[in-house]
Amino acid sequence: MQFLRQIAAALFLLLGFVHVAKATDLKVVLLDSKTGHAMHSKLVCVSFPISDPIAVNQPRMCRRTDNTGTATFRLPDTDPQTVKVELNSNNLEPCFKSEAFLLADALKDGFVAKNICADETTTTKDPGELVLYGHQKSLKEALGTTRDEW
Protein backbone atom coordinates (compact mmCIF):
# COMPACT_ATOMS: atom_id res chain seq x y z
CA MET A 1 0.00 0.00 0.00
CA GLN A 2 2.85 2.38 0.85
CA PHE A 3 4.43 1.59 -2.54
CA LEU A 4 1.22 2.58 -4.37
CA ARG A 5 1.09 5.90 -2.50
CA GLN A 6 4.68 6.64 -3.49
CA ILE A 7 3.94 5.89 -7.14
CA ALA A 8 0.81 8.05 -7.04
CA ALA A 9 2.79 10.92 -5.45
CA ALA A 10 5.55 10.59 -8.06
CA LEU A 11 3.02 10.68 -10.91
CA PHE A 12 1.30 13.70 -9.37
CA LEU A 13 4.63 15.56 -9.15
CA LEU A 14 5.60 14.54 -12.68
CA LEU A 15 2.31 15.80 -14.11
CA GLY A 16 2.73 19.02 -12.15
CA PHE A 17 6.18 19.60 -13.66
CA VAL A 18 4.85 18.93 -17.18
CA HIS A 19 2.08 21.48 -16.61
CA VAL A 20 4.62 24.07 -15.39
CA ALA A 21 6.82 23.41 -18.44
CA LYS A 22 3.90 24.08 -20.78
CA ALA A 23 3.47 27.54 -19.27
CA THR A 24 6.90 28.54 -20.58
CA ASP A 25 5.94 27.93 -24.21
CA LEU A 26 4.56 30.49 -26.64
CA LYS A 27 2.49 29.18 -29.53
CA VAL A 28 2.36 31.41 -32.60
CA VAL A 29 -0.66 30.48 -34.71
CA LEU A 30 -0.55 31.71 -38.32
CA LEU A 31 -3.82 32.02 -40.23
CA ASP A 32 -4.53 33.01 -43.84
CA SER A 33 -5.78 36.60 -43.86
CA LYS A 34 -8.52 35.92 -46.42
CA THR A 35 -9.84 32.49 -45.43
CA GLY A 36 -8.84 32.10 -41.78
CA HIS A 37 -7.35 28.67 -42.53
CA ALA A 38 -4.12 27.52 -40.89
CA MET A 39 -0.94 28.25 -42.87
CA HIS A 40 1.39 25.25 -42.60
CA SER A 41 5.12 24.93 -43.34
CA LYS A 42 5.71 28.68 -43.02
CA LEU A 43 8.85 29.97 -41.32
CA VAL A 44 8.08 32.10 -38.26
CA CYS A 45 10.83 33.82 -36.27
CA VAL A 46 10.55 35.43 -32.84
CA SER A 47 12.87 37.64 -30.88
CA PHE A 48 12.56 38.88 -27.36
CA PRO A 49 13.68 42.52 -27.15
CA ILE A 50 16.15 43.14 -24.38
CA SER A 51 16.66 46.35 -22.50
CA ASP A 52 20.46 46.21 -22.71
CA PRO A 53 21.49 49.28 -24.75
CA ILE A 54 24.86 47.72 -25.61
CA ALA A 55 23.39 44.61 -27.22
CA VAL A 56 22.95 45.26 -30.95
CA ASN A 57 21.71 41.85 -32.08
CA GLN A 58 18.78 40.23 -30.37
CA PRO A 59 18.78 36.45 -30.28
CA ARG A 60 16.21 35.00 -32.66
CA MET A 61 14.47 31.63 -32.85
CA CYS A 62 12.80 30.30 -36.00
CA ARG A 63 10.37 27.39 -36.46
CA ARG A 64 8.10 26.13 -39.24
CA THR A 65 4.38 25.97 -38.61
CA ASP A 66 2.77 22.54 -38.39
CA ASN A 67 -0.45 21.42 -40.11
CA THR A 68 -2.49 23.47 -37.61
CA GLY A 69 -0.51 26.64 -38.41
CA THR A 70 1.26 26.53 -35.05
CA ALA A 71 4.92 27.15 -34.28
CA THR A 72 5.90 26.58 -30.63
CA PHE A 73 8.74 28.49 -28.98
CA ARG A 74 10.31 27.97 -25.56
CA LEU A 75 10.51 31.26 -23.68
CA PRO A 76 13.98 32.30 -22.50
CA ASP A 77 14.86 32.27 -18.81
CA THR A 78 15.36 36.06 -18.83
CA ASP A 79 11.61 36.68 -18.28
CA PRO A 80 10.97 38.84 -21.37
CA GLN A 81 8.06 41.28 -21.38
CA THR A 82 7.47 41.42 -25.15
CA VAL A 83 7.93 39.33 -28.27
CA LYS A 84 8.55 40.49 -31.85
CA VAL A 85 7.40 38.18 -34.66
CA GLU A 86 8.61 38.03 -38.27
CA LEU A 87 7.36 35.87 -41.14
CA ASN A 88 10.32 34.61 -43.18
CA SER A 89 8.81 32.42 -45.91
CA ASN A 90 9.16 33.60 -49.51
CA ASN A 91 6.43 36.01 -50.61
CA LEU A 92 4.59 35.72 -47.29
CA GLU A 93 3.29 39.11 -46.24
CA PRO A 94 2.46 39.85 -42.60
CA CYS A 95 -1.11 41.06 -42.06
CA PHE A 96 -0.48 42.46 -38.60
CA LYS A 97 1.25 45.57 -37.34
CA SER A 98 4.98 45.14 -36.95
CA GLU A 99 5.19 45.72 -33.23
CA ALA A 100 6.27 43.95 -30.10
CA PHE A 101 3.41 42.02 -28.49
CA LEU A 102 2.99 41.85 -24.72
CA LEU A 103 3.76 38.33 -23.52
CA ALA A 104 1.57 38.69 -20.45
CA ASP A 105 -1.54 39.03 -22.66
CA ALA A 106 -0.64 36.03 -24.81
CA LEU A 107 0.33 33.78 -21.91
CA LYS A 108 -2.65 34.61 -19.70
CA ASP A 109 -5.62 34.54 -22.07
CA GLY A 110 -4.14 34.31 -25.56
CA PHE A 111 -4.04 37.21 -28.02
CA VAL A 112 -5.42 37.70 -31.55
CA ALA A 113 -3.69 40.42 -33.59
CA LYS A 114 -5.82 42.62 -35.85
CA ASN A 115 -5.96 41.41 -39.47
CA ILE A 116 -4.92 44.48 -41.52
CA CYS A 117 -5.18 42.77 -44.95
CA ALA A 118 -8.79 41.54 -44.95
CA ASP A 119 -11.94 41.25 -42.87
CA GLU A 120 -11.36 37.65 -41.76
CA THR A 121 -10.97 37.39 -38.00
CA THR A 122 -11.24 34.91 -35.18
CA THR A 123 -11.81 35.15 -31.48
CA THR A 124 -10.64 31.59 -30.89
CA LYS A 125 -7.53 31.57 -28.76
CA ASP A 126 -6.07 29.61 -25.89
CA PRO A 127 -3.75 30.71 -23.10
CA GLY A 128 -0.19 30.81 -24.43
CA GLU A 129 -1.27 31.53 -28.03
CA LEU A 130 -0.49 34.51 -30.22
CA VAL A 131 -2.76 34.37 -33.30
CA LEU A 132 -1.46 36.26 -36.36
CA TYR A 133 -2.52 36.65 -39.98
CA GLY A 134 -0.48 36.41 -43.16
CA HIS A 135 -1.01 36.54 -46.93
CA GLN A 136 0.87 34.25 -49.31
CA LYS A 137 1.42 36.22 -52.52
CA SER A 138 0.50 34.45 -55.73
CA LEU A 139 3.06 34.20 -58.55
CA LYS A 140 1.28 37.03 -60.36
CA GLU A 141 1.43 39.27 -57.26
CA ALA A 142 5.09 38.43 -56.65
CA LEU A 143 6.06 39.19 -60.27
CA GLY A 144 4.10 42.44 -60.14
CA THR A 145 6.00 43.50 -57.03
CA THR A 146 9.34 42.69 -58.69
CA ARG A 147 8.36 44.62 -61.84
CA ASP A 148 7.41 47.66 -59.73
CA GLU A 149 10.87 47.70 -58.15
CA TRP A 150 12.60 48.29 -61.51
What CATH number does residue 131 fall under? 2.60.40.10
Whole-prediction pTM: 0.76
CA dihedral of 56, 59, 63, 69, whole degrees rounded to 10: -70
Q: Do 95 and 115 touch, CB atoms closer than 8 A?
A: yes
* Greater pLDDT, 43 or 91: 43
pLDDT in tens, 96-109: 998 999 999 999 99
Q: How far apart are CA 22 and CA 81, in angstroms?
A: 18
Report pLDDT for 48. 87
Phi, psi of 127 (to 5 degrees): -55, 135
Domain carrying residue 120: 25-149
pLDDT in tens, 10-26: 555 555 544 444 458 99
In a domain, 6, yes or no: no
In a domain, 9, yes or no: no
In a domain, 14, yes or no: no
In a domain, 131, yes or no: yes
In a domain, 1, yes or no: no
